[in-house]
């Protein structure tokens, strides 16, 4: 029997981590009306972060909104690994920035760097601009490199991309709450999951500075199919760095 009424409602709605979710709600909301609206949204199936309006990512609290990709804790390692790989980066871009969680984390870790995020989804860019004002990065609307200011061409020291990389036939395995609130194009990476990485990697030479790198997160099983250096790997994921000089014709 749950004595905490929020825990009880979340548990009754099937939330497995009801205590943790109730604590998240209380950590970020204090107004009783806001708490009630968030709990009601959550019990009707909205992802917790959308219901509350924020996500916790790499020690930061970033704004999110319904329809915008919820930053995943599994991607936090990218910020750590990428900033360690290129601690001297002066120009950084976050390709497919969503709400800009990675851009925010990199702005914080690389305080001297000029950081830009880009996303094709207009609603994501609206939220990324809110986070950009708070954490000090620029957010642009458009498709991959084409959405970035041309003045960045040849100057990008570090590009990070948590790209849609789920193979099409596995998208249905994503939790139903997320599937209902995040458009499919945010996760679907085509038959092998690597379509977007190839598109992003093809013009890499034009955009990166001579020692620049593209750091991306893939499933551990995809990493051997990519001509990059594995910077971090666990049972599920791999963080891979691609450099134009070592890609051969992979992306063309
Ligand atoms: C897996 S989500 C990652 C979002 C964000 N980086 C994060 O970690 O929360 C992939 C993002 O790529 C964006 N995206 C998909 N196709 C794109 C394209 N052609 N150009 C730019 N962004 C794109 C989606 O809208 C989505 O926000």
218-229 residue pLDDT tens: 999 999 999 999
Residue 68 lies in a domain: no
Residue 252 lies in a domain: no
101 lines ligand 1 (CB under 6 A): yes
133-157 residue pLDDT tens: 999 999 999 999 999 999 999 999 9
The verdict on 29 and 83 lying in the same domain is no
The verdict on 131 and 225 lying in the same domain is yes
- Mean of pLDDT values over 33-39: 98
Mark which of 41, 63, 85 sits at the end of a domain. 63
Measured in whole angstroms, how far is the alpha carbon of residue 86 from the centre of its chain? 19
Residue 51 lies in a domain: yes
The verdict on 140 and 187 lying in the same domain is yes
Mark which of 63, 90, 110 sits at the end of a domain. 63
Supply the CATH number for residue 146's domain. 3.40.50.150
75 lines ligand 1 (CB under 6 A): yes
Residue 82 lies in a domain: yes
166 lines ligand 1 (CB under 6 A): no
Residue 251 lies in a domain: no
The verdict on 123 and 242 lying in the same domain is yes
The verdict on 42 and 133 lying in the same domain is no
Q: What is the pLDDT of residue 113?
A: 98
The verdict on 108 and 166 lying in the same domain is yes
Residue 248 pLDDT more than 80? no
The verdict on 50 and 160 lying in the same domain is no
Query: Which residue's alpha carbon is nearest to atom 19 within ligand 1?
Result: 143
Residue 226, token pair as written in the block: 């990519």
Q: What is the pLDDT of residue 17?
A: 95
The verdict on 110 and 158 lying in the same domain is yes
At residue 197 the predicted structure's pLDDT band, cuts being 50, 70 and 90, is very high
Residue 40 lies in a domain: yes
Residue 129 lies in a domain: yes
124 lines ligand 1 (CB under 6 A): yes
Mark which of 45, 63, 81 sits at the end of a domain. 63
196 C-alpha to center of ligand 1: Å? 10
The verdict on 133 and 235 lying in the same domain is yes
143 C-alpha to center of ligand 1: Å? 9
Residue 65 pLDDT more than 80? yes
* Residues in contact with 231: Cβ distance below 8 Å, sequence separation at least 6, in sequence order: 81, 85, 215, 239, 240, 241
The verdict on 147 and 54 lying in the same domain is no
* Residues in contact with 219: Cβ distance below 8 Å, sequence separation at least 6, in sequence order: 165, 193, 236, 237, 238
Residue 1 pLDDT more than 80? no
3 C-alpha to center of ligand 1: Å? 40
Nearest-angstrom CA–CA distance, 117 and 128: 8
Query: Which residue's alpha carbon is nearest to atom 20 within ligand 1?
Result: 143
221 C-alpha to center of ligand 1: Å? 21
163-173 residue pLDDT tens: 999 999 999 99
- Percent of the chain exceeding pLDDT 70 equals 99
The verdict on 12 and 113 lying in the same domain is no
117 C-alpha to center of ligand 1: Å? 10
The verdict on 122 and 241 lying in the same domain is yes
Q: How many domains does the chain have?
A: 2
- Taking CA atoms, 140 is separated from 147, 191, 232, in Å, by 6, 28, 29
Range of the domain at 12: 5-63
List the beta bridge partners of residue 141.
Answer: 119
Instruction: Calculate the average pLDDT of the chain.
Output: 95
């Amino acid at each position: 029997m749950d004595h905490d009424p929020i825990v009880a409602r979340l548990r009754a709605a099937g939330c497995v981590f009801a205590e943790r979710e109730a604590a998240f709600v209380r950590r970020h909301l204090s107004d009783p009306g806001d708490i009630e609206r968030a709990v009601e949204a959550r019990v009707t199936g909205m992802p917790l972060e959308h219901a509350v309006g924020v996500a916790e990512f790499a020690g930061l609290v970033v704004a999110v909104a319904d329809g915008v990709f919820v930053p995943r804790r599994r991607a936090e390692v990218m910020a750590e690994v990428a900033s360690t790989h290129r601690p001297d980066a002066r120009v950084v871009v976050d390709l497919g920035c969503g709400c800009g969680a990675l851009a925010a984390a990199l702005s914080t870790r690389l305080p001297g760097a000029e950081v830009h995020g880009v996303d094709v989804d207009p609603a994501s860019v609206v939220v990324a601009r809110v986070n950009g004002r708070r954490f000090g990065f620029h957010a642009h609307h458009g498709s991959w490199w084409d959405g970035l200011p041309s003045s960045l061409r040849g100057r990008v020291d570090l590009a990070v991309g948590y790209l849609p990389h789920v193979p099409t036939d596995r998208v249905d395995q994503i939790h139903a709450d997320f599937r209902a609130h995040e458009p499919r194009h945010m996760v679907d990476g085509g038959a092998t999951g690597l379509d977007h990485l190839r598109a992003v990697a093809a013009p890499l030479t034009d955009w990166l500075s001579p020692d620049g790198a593209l750091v991306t997160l893939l499933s551990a099983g995809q990493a051997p199919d990519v001509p990059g250096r594995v910077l971090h790997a666990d049972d599920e994921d791999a963080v891979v760095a691609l450099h134009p000089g070592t890609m051969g014709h992979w992306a063309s």
